[in-house]
Amino acid sequence: MGRNLVNLLKRHVATLAQDPDHHVAKAAAVTIGLTKPTIDMFDEHFTRIAGGSSPPWPFASANDYYEYSSSHTVLGNVKIPLLAINAGDDPVVQDVPMDAGGNGWVIMALTPYGGHLGWFEPEGWGQVRRWIKRPVLEWLRATGEDLVRLPLQSRPLHEEGGFLKEIGIDRLGCKELDRSDIIVGTEGEAGLLAGL
């Protein structure tokens, strides 16, 4: 995965290096030179510096970035049903808070295998499919059928510049591109490497 991230960075390094004195350009130059990069190496050399907007980026270390990004700090604040499925052999997520911070809205599941967003299983001769769909759909169905709640109070929506936004929250929105299934968020919300 570390090599894949470096290869992705290489495709965009010319754009990032337009100002060679910028800290992101310097981090990119060092990162593309890594030999046998791991995810941790990529995060230490690049993500902690260029992974998002300032503040809070840059971080002093990858560990500081991991602490900031950890779900552990926000699980207690979740107020809607949340299913989190993790794999014990995930190379990215190392510590799964199975107690969900004591929050009854959160269901944590841990499979022994599955890697990072994997969960493949055989389907016919030489074919594989993602196992994860079944438990997610079962959980969604059970939540929709069994959970009775008062209607949420939401803000009305409006369209601005092609983006669908809630009235009063102009910094956040989404829009469909080219009638595809790709959704783009408002610029700056997700950070420099959104979607990696």
* pLDDT tens by residue, 138-173: 999 888 888 766 666 778 888 888 888 888 887 888
Task: Tell me if 175 sits within 8 A of 164, measured CB to CB.
Answer: yes
* Residue with token string 């995965």: 1
Q: According to the model, what pLDDT value does residue 132 have?
A: 84
Average pLDDT, the chain: 84
Q: How confident is the model at residue 182 (pLDDT cuts 50, 70, 90)?
A: low
Q: Is the pLDDT of residue 183 over 60?
A: no
Token reading at 19? 């100002």
Task: Tell me if 88 sits within 8 A of 110, measured CB to CB.
Answer: yes
Residue among 21, 99, 102, 68 at smallest CA distance from 191: 68
Higher pLDDT, 178 or 10: 10
Higher pLDDT, 186 or 27: 27
The number of CA neighbours under 13 Å toward the Cβ of 193 is: 21
Q: What is the mean pLDDT of residues 12-21?
A: 91
Q: According to the model, what pLDDT value does residue 93 have?
A: 83
Token reading at 191? 């950070």
Question: How far apart, in whole angstroms, are the C-alpha atoms of residue 61 and residue 80?
Answer: 32
Q: According to the model, what pLDDT value does residue 69 have?
A: 87
Question: How far apart, in whole angstroms, are the C-alpha atoms of residue 156 and residue 161?
Answer: 17
Q: Is the pLDDT of residue 71 over 60?
A: yes
Q: Classify 117 in phi/psi space as left (phi over 0), alpha (psi -120 to 50) or beta.
A: left
Q: Is the pLDDT of residue 106 over 70?
A: yes
Higher pLDDT, 7 or 92: 7
Q: According to the model, what pLDDT value does residue 195 have?
A: 42
Count of residues for the chain? 196
C-alpha distances out from residue 18 to 13, 42, 46, 52, Å: 9, 21, 17, 18
C-alpha distances out from residue 83 to 69, 71, 106, 142, Å: 18, 13, 6, 12
Token reading at 195? 């979607």
Q: Which helix (H) or strand (E) covers residue 87, if one does?
A: strand 82-87
Task: Tell me if 48 sits within 8 A of 69, measured CB to CB.
Answer: no
Task: Tell me if 157 sits within 8 A of 167, measured CB to CB.
Answer: yes
